[in-house]
Amino acid sequence: MYKVLLILKYLRRRYIAWVSLVAVALCTALVIIVISVMGGWLRMFRQSFHGLQGDILVQGQSLSGFPYYEEMVRRIEELPGVGPGCAAPVIHTYGLLSIAGIQTSGVQVLGYPIDKIGNVNNFDTSLYRQSIACRQAAEQLKDPKLPAPQRAIDQALVAAPATRPSFKLLPRQATAPLSRLPAEIAKLPQLSGAEVGYDPVAKQLAWKSADWIHEPIEELLLSRSSDAEYQKAVKQLVYASKWEAVDYAGLTKVGDKALRWAGMIVSTGIMGIEKDDDGQLAGRTPNEYRFAVTLTVPLIEANSAMADVGNAPHRPYWIVDDSHTGVYQNDQQTVYVPFDVIQHDLAMDIQKDDSGAEVTPARSSMIYVKVKAGYDLYAVKRQIAQIVRDVRAHQGVMIGYPVDVITWEESQKDFLGAVENEKSLVTFLMSLISVVAIMLILCIFYMIVVEKTRDIGVIKSVGATNAGVAGIFLGYGMAIGIVGSGLGLIGGYLVVHNINELHKAMGRWLGIQIWRPKVYMFDIIPNTMNPKEVAVIIAVAIVSAVIGSLLPAVLAAWKNPVEALRWE
């Protein structure tokens, strides 16, 4: 009883101990913040990559892919742990994306069978036009005060796509009649693209007319007109609109073939769409989903490491949507195209000779597999590996086209391992700070023990045992740990839950940006706390405080009561 009483009294009265209490609180808050951010980062990383890839990957070791994937897909889908539609072939390669003929950049290319991809990963939820905008529209429709024009737009958005996701163009809207083409544009001289690009008048005109300029062009193209007057006007508009980064110059050459162009979904980074200060993706233009681009991909010869760059096919696409997965590396330079289109361009479809006989079977780079809930991932992985072996053996593929069957975690093990190592390193560094706190507690408690020497003698003279005296200071240390870690928890919680706002404020007021999406791959700082991790941190803080008080407590316990009573 006296221990509890004295601990409570010391806790309230010994102000010097508050320094150690603050040290424990700061250390706890610091570790909670760091571990939460690092752990959250790792969690987000895992969730995002898991969401992008599916549960199990059958992955060719070469960009040339592997054959007989259809049979593998069919047999994998027959597994009870997978099910119909839950194995999707994917082509992975790299290419050059040309936008409006004025900007070319290297991109990662993923060929998706769009009708199945939603079954195996979360790609469909990353799409703006086909998912995010629809959700936002559905939310807005709940507002009874929504203006009628906006309501109509939202209703159209929610109702429009019959199947999602898709590589189809937006449903056509009512377009402006061609007669509305302004005379100023019709009067534009025939200038070369280079000249117009630097002409301030043309630039200004293009800018002002950006909203409506594309509608007549689209109308023109979709009507398959070959009227010379229109062609001339289109050429003029194309030059004027170069600042809008639209490759309509290419469209006029292609003519009515444009209708048959494939759709492409691009990552937000390609479109210059970035999060603004409020954390919202900004930078979309009204005509974004009518942009035309050209993708060039190098041919990789079957079962070879040779790339045929000279004969690399280039194909025009319509941009039909943008994707924001939250994973920086996917959101910067990635394009998603129809599986069969890119397979054809890469000559990964069935290759036949002149007589029509199959020379090379169709190939795929990967197969994404979604495993049903409740099934053991590794058991299904073994079954899939067996299927792959069986198919290869059956088709006589003994060597070449090396294939791995791995879980999504294994596919990212290098990166996940590095992140986990970084987390461990940071945790270790934070532990060193905790050691400093322990030393601080030790010093302060030693001072308190020295200061309380006579009281120790008094307590012993009244019958307290050595263990009892040690218990006072150990309990005092524990109380410091409990209160300090409690305060640290509150501080850590407040910081973690407002970390993005604090980061923004730091950027705004101090010009400091610590969290760089390019480095950390996510454009928001993780702001959730893991209760288990927090519990461990709190426990360690309390144990640390007790450890810090251990030596002073032992010294107090072993004090000779007579010497303690005589202490001055």
Question: 433-452 burial string, b = 16+ CB within 10 Å, else e?
Answer: ebeebbebbbebbbebbeeb
Binding site for other proteins (CB under 8 A): 1-6, 9-10, 13, 454-455, 457-468, 560-562, 565
CB of residue 462 to other proteins, shortest distance in Å: 5
C-alpha–C-alpha distance, residues 296 and 316, integer Å: 9
Nearer to other proteins, 208 or 566 (CB): 566
Quote the least distance from Cβ 458 to other proteins, whole Å. 4
Shortest Å distance, C-beta 556 to other proteins: 14
Q: Residue 530, class by beta-carbon neighbours within 10 Å (0-12 exposed, 13-18 middle, 19+ buried)?
A: middle
Q: How many CB atoms are located within 10 Å of the residue 393 CB?
A: 10
What is the spatial distance between Cα 465 and Cα 404, in angstroms, rounded to a whole number? 67
- Listed in sequence order, the residues at least 6 apart from 388 whose beta carbon sits closer than 8 Å to its beta carbon are 58, 72, 403, 405
Task: Closer to other proteins by CB, 294 or 549: give it.
Answer: 549
Give burial (CB, 10 Å; 0-12/13-18/19+) of 325. Answer: buried
- The rounded distance, in Å, linking the Cα atoms of 289 and 16 is 66
Pairing of the two strands 292-296 and 66-67: unpaired
Report whether 367 contacts 298 (CB < 8 A). Answer: no
Toward other proteins, which CB reaches closer, 290 or 452?
A: 452
| Closest to 322 measured CA to CA, from 293, 346, 361 | 293
Q: How far is the CB of 473 from other proteins (least distance, A)?
A: 14
Cβ nearer to other proteins, comparing 144 with 463:
463
Q: In terms of CB distance, is 182 or 468 closer to other proteins?
A: 468
Closer by beta carbon to other proteins, 4 or else 512: 4
- At its nearest, how many Å lie between other proteins and the CB of residue 478? 15
Least distance (Å) between residue 468 CB and other proteins? 7
Q: What is the DSSP letter of 142?
A: T
> Taking Cα atoms as reference points, which of 96, 101, 104, 105 lies closest to residue 239?
101
- Nearest-approach distance from CB 536 to other proteins, in angstroms: 28
Q: Are 292 and 246 in contact (CB under 8 A)?
A: yes
Q: How many whole angstroms separate alpha carbon 481 and alpha carbon 441? A: 10
Burial profile 28-66: b = 16 or more Cβ within 10 angstroms, e = fewer = bbbbbbbbbbbbbbbebbeebbbbbbbbbbbbbebbbbb
Q: Which residues pair with 71 in a beta bridge?
A: none
What CA–CA distance (Å, rounded) separates 43 from 62?
29
Query: Phi and psi of 103, rounded to 5°?
Result: -140, 125
- Residue 107's beta-bridge partner residues? 95
Tell me the three state secondary structure of residue 299: strand
When the beta carbons of 2 and 378 are compared against other proteins, the nearer one is 2
Least Cβ distance, residue 565 to other proteins (angstroms): 7
Q: Give least dist CB 449 to other proteins, A.
A: 15
Nearer to other proteins, 7 or 238 (CB): 7
Nearer to other proteins by Cβ, of 116 and 460: the residue is 460
6 or 76: CB nearest other proteins: 6
Q: Do 65 and 348 touch, CB atoms closer than 8 A?
A: yes
Q: How far apart are CA 431 and CA 52, in angstroms?
A: 35
Q: How far is the CB of 558 from other proteins (least distance, A)?
A: 10
If the CB atoms of residues 424 and 461 are measured against other proteins, the closer one turns out to be 461
Q: Which is nearer to other proteins, 1 or 373 (CB)?
A: 1
Q: What CA–CA distance (Å, rounded) separates 325 from 331?
A: 6
Give me the least distance between CB of 486 and other proteins, in Å please: 22
* Comparison of 455 and 523: residue with beta carbon closer to other proteins: 455
The answer to whether 39 and 530 are in contact (CB under 8 A) is yes
Shortest separation between residue 11's beta carbon and other proteins, angstroms: 10
Q: What is the CA radius of gyration of the chain?
A: 33
* CB nearer to other proteins: pick between 381 and 559: 559
Please state whether 401 falls in left (phi above 0), alpha (psi between -120 and 50) or beta: left
Cβ 442 to other proteins, closest distance in Å? Answer: 22
Tokens 């969730």 belong to which residue?
A: 47
Question: Measured from the CB of residue 547, what is the shortest distance to other proteins in angstroms?
Answer: 24
